Structure 1
Amino acid sequence: MAGTETDRPRAGVGDLAGLEAGLDALDAVPVKRTPLREVLLRKVLPPVAAVVLVLVVWKLLVLAGVTDDYKLPDPSAVWGALRRLWLEGTLFGIVWTSVSRGLLGFLAALAIGTPLGLLVARVPLIRAALGPVLSGLQSLPSVAWVPAAVIWLGITDSAMYAVILLGAVPSIANGLVSGIDQVPPLYLRAGRTMGATGARGAWHILLPAALPGYLAGLKQGWAFSWRSLMAAELIASSPDLGLGLGQYLENARTDSDMPGVLLGIILILFVGIAIDLIVFSPLERRVLRSRGLATR
């Protein structure tokens, strides 16, 4: 019996060492460079195949004559509208007019929404006062702000940016609040022990720990920025604002130019997807890899 009792602590120590080794192995997530062939098969081929499938179905519907040509034009007609804009030299100007507005509005929303989210998350009185307001603003369709912005600021770029801010700031602030709410209190106590308090604690402790939720809020904030801008350009169109994607879409509707309408929708969709793939998807992968949640 004495020998058995003596062996038990040794077995416990061995089990603990094995457990620590297993945890260390889990922490050490290997990061490998994905081969180009695998990238093409897993990331490029599926969306290309989906686009081809949509075009094939579209073409079959046109050939079957399910509706009039002016309601569902042939894909070649939309390609012709795109080619016409390219030859006229106006394609990039139309896209850039909207993209530049959307990015500037999003950056302004980022500068306002981030400190606002920190205040709401860390100051109970401000949270009680502004938390429900931010949630309500986030659920309010951005298009509802366009008439008010036009009356307040006129049909100007300022009205466009106002609509973007009112649509994007609540999403960014709420995303940061959600991320901070999920930060373990131990992180904050450890930060205070090392002297990271106030703005320093927010920069070095809160924001890095809340980064996944904050990044989700940024993605949603960009989506709201882009949607808000398109709504504003559709409703408050004016020659003084320049020709953006929303105004191009409205002009095509006024002229009963269905190929132009579909081209405008496709370009708006393309910009939204491109920004996500170029900006937000790499950021998300980097954050996940830094936390050992992804290896690719």
Structure 2
Amino acid sequence: MASTETVPADEKGSAGAQDLAGLEAGLDALDAVQVRRTPFTQVLVKKVLPPVSAVLLVLVVWQLAVLAGFAPETKLPAPRAVGSSFMTLWNEGQLLDIIWTSVERGLLGFLAAVAIGTPVGLVVARVPFVRSAIGPILSGLQSLPSVAWVPAAVIWLGITDSAMYAVILLGAVPSIANGLISGIDQVPPLYLRAGRTLGASGVSGARHILLPAALPGYLAGLKQGWAFSWRSLMAAELIASSPDLGTGLGRYLENMREGSDMPGIFLGIILILVVGIAIDLLIFSPLERRVLRTRGLVSRSQ
């Protein structure tokens, strides 16, 4: 028979103390890690240089296409002509007014869509009967092109700002609600049971358990909701025209089409694209990075 050696109790205690000391040292080392700010030059190389290079490449290809005569300038204007249209709007003091008219409508409509879509998504996700009744409708509305609502909204509400907001809501609310539903579906049931054990149920459980745990999916729904809001607004401004509405980016684009002003059309398209990108970079990208950092998915220096 193999002999069995017995480890003295004092040696076991010593080994346990060493393990505990090693664990404490490791935790102290983690606490001592200093968050270093990313050098400015590194930010330029990684964050600024790639998009600037892409824009310059597009401009070069665009200019080469014009010089090669792929299309007449009435259909493919040169970058300089588009820049001239930009400076004309700027010198006339219309540029910022046109941009702000659309941005204000888009942001107000989006905030209203968040206020409506969040409780709708929460109820649909947590109430089986409501989910069976409304879930398919939300999915269908999300796939419906927003421009389809413009004629109905104009008949219902007239050519007013209310019609614009109605189109935004009908386009954005389903995306926000479905994003929250998807996020809640991915919350581990253990979180909910632990929350109920601690007394977090009903509204309290939704606030402290469901919404924080479903935040990644909810944030994805918010980003998609903003995209739908912006596209819905541009479609409404393109179709609905009234002096009371003022001139937004969509209306400016349609005015340029009616005047066969191709540089103005290109400028309108570029401005719509730039505003959409700017909102994403200024609002949604920082939120996304913060959520990822809180979950340890990216380093705090990013």
TM range (shorter): over 0.9
> What letter matches 2:136 in structure 1?
P
Partner of 1:273: 277
2:204 maps to 1:200: yes
Cα deviation, residue 25, structure 1: 9.0
CA contact (8 A) 1:98 1:245 kept: yes
TM-score by length of 1: 0.92
Q: What is the rounded CA distance, in whole Å, between the counterparts of 1:287 and 1:18 in structure 2?
A: 31
Q: Does 1:231 align with 2:235?
A: yes
Query: How far 1:192 sits from its partner (Å)?
Result: 1.0
Q: What is the correspondence of 1:158-237 to structure 2 with a 5 Å cutoff?
A: 158-237=162-241
1:141 and 1:172 mapped to 2: Cα distance? 16
Question: Which residue of the partner structure matches residue 84 of structure 1?
Answer: 88
Identity of aligned residues (%): 77
Look up the equivalent residue of 2:280 and give its one-letter code: D
Matched, 1:246 2:275: no
Is 1:151 aligned to residue 155 of structure 2? yes
Quote how far apart the aligned CAs of 1:165 are.
0.2
1:263 aligns with 2:267: yes
Which stretch has the larger CA shift, 33-42 or 205-214? 33-42
Relative to structure 1, the CA distance from residue 28 to residue 215 in structure 2 (aligned partners, 3 Å threshold; closer, same or farther) is farther
SS for the counterpart of 1:3 is: coil
Q: For 1:126 and 1:186, locate their aligned partners in 2 and report how far apart those are by CA, in whole Å.
A: 23
SS at match of 1:2: coil
Query: Post-superposition shift, 1:238?
Result: 1.8
Distance between the aligned counterparts of 1:18 and 1:186, measured in 2?
31
Q: Does 1:46 align with 2:50?
A: yes
Q: Give the residue type in structure 1 aligned to 2:5.
A: G
- Distance in 2, matches of 1:21 and 1:173, equals 46
Q: Which of the pair has more CA radius of gyration? A: 2
1:2 is matched with which residue? 4
Distance across 2 between alignment mates of 1:82 and 1:294: 39
User: How far 1:34 moved relative to its partner?
Assistant: 1.5
Show the 5 A alignment for 1:25-36.
31-36=35-40
Report the alpha carbon displacement of residue 33 of structure 1 after superposing the two structures with TM.
Answer: 2.0
In 2, Cα distance between equivalents of 1:24 and 1:135: 50
Deviations along 1:67-100, one digit per CA (max 9) or x if unpaired, are: 1110001100000000000000010000000000
Residues 26, 182 of structure 1: CA spacing in aligned structure 2 closer, same or farther, 3 A cutoff? farther
* Paired amino acid for 1:3: E
How far 1:3 sits from its partner (Å)? Answer: 2.9
Deviations along 1:13-55, one digit per CA (max 9) or x if unpaired, are x999999999999999974421111111000000000000000
Distance 1:134 1:243, change over 3 A: same
Paired letter, 1:69: E
Q: Name the count of aligned residue pairs.
A: 295
Distance in 2 between residues matched to 1:225 and 1:282, nearest whole Å = 20
- What residue number does 2:69 align with? 65
Higher mean displacement: 273-282 or 187-196: 187-196
**Residue in 1 aligned with 2:294?**
290
**Where does residue 41 of structure 2 map in the other structure?**
37
Mapped partners of 2:219, 2:139: distance in 1: 18
Equivalent-residue separation in structure 2 for 1:123 and 1:206 (angstroms): 14
Provide structure 2 residue ranges, at least 5 long, that are not aligned to the other structure: none
Cα distance in structure 2, aligned partners of 1:269 and 1:93: 17
Q: Equivalent residue for 1:108?
A: 112
8 A contact 1:27–1:292 mirrored in 2: no
Distance change (3 Å), C-alpha of 1:52 and 1:162: same
CA distance in structure 1 between the partners assigned to 2:33 and 2:102 by the alignment:
41
Letter in 2 for 1:2: T
Cα 1:38–1:2 change in 2 (3 A) is: same
CA distance in 2, matches of 1:119, 1:77: 52
* Residues 1:225 and 1:29: Cα distance change in structure 2 (over 3 Å): farther
Is the Cα contact below 8 Å between 1:94 and 1:245 reproduced in 2? Answer: yes
Matching residue's letter, 2:202? G
- Identify if the C-alpha distance between structure 1 residues 165 and 27 changes in structure 2 by more than 3 Å, giving closer, same or farther: farther
Supply the distance in 2 between the matched residues of 1:85 and 1:120 (Cα, whole angstroms).
47
